[in-house]
Structure 1
Amino acid sequence: MRDASPIWLVRSLRRHWHLLLIMSWRDVMGRYRGSLMGMLWTFVTPLLLLLIYTFVFTVVFKARWDVDTGAGGEGRATFAIVLFVGMIIHGLMAEILTRAPTLMLGHANYVKKVVFPLEILPLTLFLSALFHFAISAGVLVLAMIVLGHPLHVTALLLPVTLLPLVPLLLGIAWGLASIGVYLRDVGHLTGLISTVLLFLSPIFFPVEALGEPYQSLMAFNPLTVIIEQSRQVVLWGKLPDISALIAYSVVSCTLGWCGFAIFQKGRKGFADVI
């Protein structure tokens, strides 16, 4: 088995960082190759989803964000931006969940090359997903300006609230990329998990709207802390809960390393299975 230590990974990234950037950009551009609108879809898609979900939940279901947020009012505009923060964070994880299981299968030509650094392929997926997240974050800022929501200086702390999520996402990418080679059905399962997370995360409702037993269960949702803390800094102008983010980081790094270890253990059989 190849070395699964963080030091080995850092050395590999240092040697292949240029290749990683090239392949990440190629992944972004390849998604829109041949389409008429090209990369404009990265802007249009989150905007359309925002409009659709806002209409369904505020007009059809009459949903409200009935908590004291300090936003200075309640209405469709407030609900839209609160909803969108949760949506783009879920979208970041959903892209990893749905694409990682077929990652090695989609790069079979690289898998069969003895000298290719396969460990960077899940990283290219992560960087590609992060690029689309950044575009969606830009749409969020634009929506806040158009809708008259104040832009707080604490929004600059958004990377701080997202950083603890990174090791977890990388671990998921590595783990699913490896498992997906041997168990092809896992891709169908992760699509279902992505949908479940959409409706069982505090995206369409605040955690405070649930009873105490359910609030405790929500703490086990990997998106809950990140979404809540991101809203604190971006929308409500408050500082993040550092203790919660540190605790999350410990768990995230542990799971991230486990995912990398699974990948390193399984990679020796990729070429034979594919």
Structure 2
Amino acid sequence: MTPCTLAGNTNRSPTVITYSHLIQAVDFLSPAWRRRVLLRDLIRRDIANRYRGSVFGVLWSLLTPLLMLAIYTFVFSVVFQARWNNDPTENSNVYFATNLFAGMIVHGLLAECLQRAPLLILQNVNYVKRVIFPLELLCWVSLGSALFHALISFIVLLGFSLFTNGSIPLTTPLVLVIWLPLLLLALGVSWLLASLGVFLRDIAQVMGSVTTILMFLSPVFYPATALPETFRTLLYLNPLTFFIEQTRNVLIIGSAPDWPHWLFALLLSTLVAMLGFAWFQKSRRGFADVL
């Protein structure tokens, strides 16, 4: 296989992902399961540290999505008078807000992982010097924290839909199933970015712009069908498109998921997670030298 040389490690042999590393990567879920108690405590501490010192504490995780939902509803449906699919017979301010907020939740889940990943190792240098500490758990912690905030926003959206519509679709619980490939994708990319962030510090500087671009190139503020056919094909190359559209289908429309495409997304995301884990486990040997 072609060797992948890491910057800042010029005195060592190139870092290569071999067949044995790929075999080990198949079992990428077991480290988190074996240390699930430690992982749970780390996620709790990560969430608590985010709100430490604030007056409302963890309550901000509920207040923030409520505030954003109100702002999005006012700005896009009242000020801009935007309509979903430009259909005046089926669209209202509430319908636009729920579609918009559903897309923001999915994007926010992935965006939080991408923005935090390049700094995970740099901000936890003390863990690098501890040989027994499983550094791969840091990406699990970031994912767990992002999922916590996404679920809080999801609950807010459910409450908003129940209040405005009087009911929610029976397919709503399938949202968690829809998100499974997204979580694996976020985990695999996080392992890759966490490793590269040690050797290429510029990655952390550009991720904010990358996630903003990703938001506008995803059907967050508009449905995928609003684009011309030629651009719609490019839009579906964006992995977020599938998860956003499927989330809206089961949460708002009440239709069943697209299971064949979901299975393909699951297989592809699992492959990304395996490769990301293999790269992280191999490249971690150079962390101490750089830091």
What TM-score, normalized to structure 2? Answer: 0.89
Displacement of 1:11 after TM fit? 3.6
Structure 2 residue corresponding to 1:184, chosen from 201, 209, 218: 201
Q: CA deviation at 1:149?
A: 5.5
Establish whether residue 116 from structure 1 lines up as the match of residue 133 from structure 2: yes
Q: Please tell me whether residue 267 in structure 1 is matched to residue 280 in structure 2.
A: no
Paired residue for 2:9? Answer: none
Aligned residue type for 1:101: P
| 1:119 to partner: Cα distance | 1.0
| Aligned with residue 122 of structure 2, among 95, 105, 111 | 105
Question: Which residue pairs with 1:230 in the alignment?
Answer: 247
Q: CA RMSD in A?
A: 1.8
Distance 1:258 1:241 in 2: 26
CA 1:247–1:10: 2 relative to 1, 3 Å = closer
Sequence identity percentage: 46
Any conservation in 1 of the 2:117–2:190 contact (CA below 8 Å)?
yes
8 Å CA contact 2:28, 2:274 repeated in 1: no
Distance in 1, Cα, partners of 2:169 & 2:29 = 35
Measure, in 1, the Cα distance between the counterparts of 2:191 and 2:98.
Answer: 32
Check 1:93–1:122 CA distance in 2 against 1; reply closer, same or farther (3 A cut): same
Where 2:172 maps in the other structure, the secondary structure is helix
> Judging changes above 3 Å, is the alpha-carbon distance between structure 1 residues 149 and 211 closer, same or farther for their aligned structure 2 residues?
farther
Higher mean Cα deviation, 79-88 or 12-21? Answer: 12-21
Aligned to 1:19: 38
Which of 241, 247, 251 does residue 264 from structure 2 map onto? 247
Q: Report the Cα distance in structure 2 between the residues aligned to 1:139 and 1:253, rounded to whole angstroms.
A: 30
What residue number does 1:88 align with? 105
Match of 1:51 in 2: 70
C-alpha displacement of 1:166 = 1.7
The one-letter code of the counterpart of 2:76 is F
Cα deviations by residue, 1:225-274 (Å, 9 ceiling, x for unpaired)? 00101111111111011011111122211222221122112100111211
Give the equivalent residue in structure 2 for 1:37.
Answer: 56
Inter-CA distance 6–228: structure 2 relative to 1 (3 Å threshold): same
Q: Structure 1 residue 15: deviation in Å?
A: 2.6
Please give the alpha-carbon distance, in whole angstroms, between the structure 2 residues aligned to 1:12 and 1:242: 29
How big is the shift at 1:3? 4.2
Partner of 2:221: 204
Question: Structure 1: 5+ residue runs without aligned partners?
Answer: none
Q: Which amino acid aligns with 2:124?
A: H
2:183 is matched with 166
* Distance of aligned partners of 1:75 and 1:14 in 2 relative to their CA distance in 1, 3 Å threshold: closer
Does structure 2 retain, via aligned residues, the 8 Å contact 1:202–1:227?
yes
Moved more, 59-68 or 109-118: 59-68
Larger radius of gyration: 2
User: Structure 1 CA distance, aligned partners of 2:166 and 2:194?
Assistant: 40
Deviation at 1:13, TM superposition (A): 2.5
SS of 1:66's equivalent? Answer: helix
TM-score, normalised to structure 1, is: 0.94
Cα distance in structure 2, aligned partners of 1:52 and 1:175: 35
Distance 2:213 2:26 in 1: 35
CA distance in 1, matches of 2:126, 2:261: 42
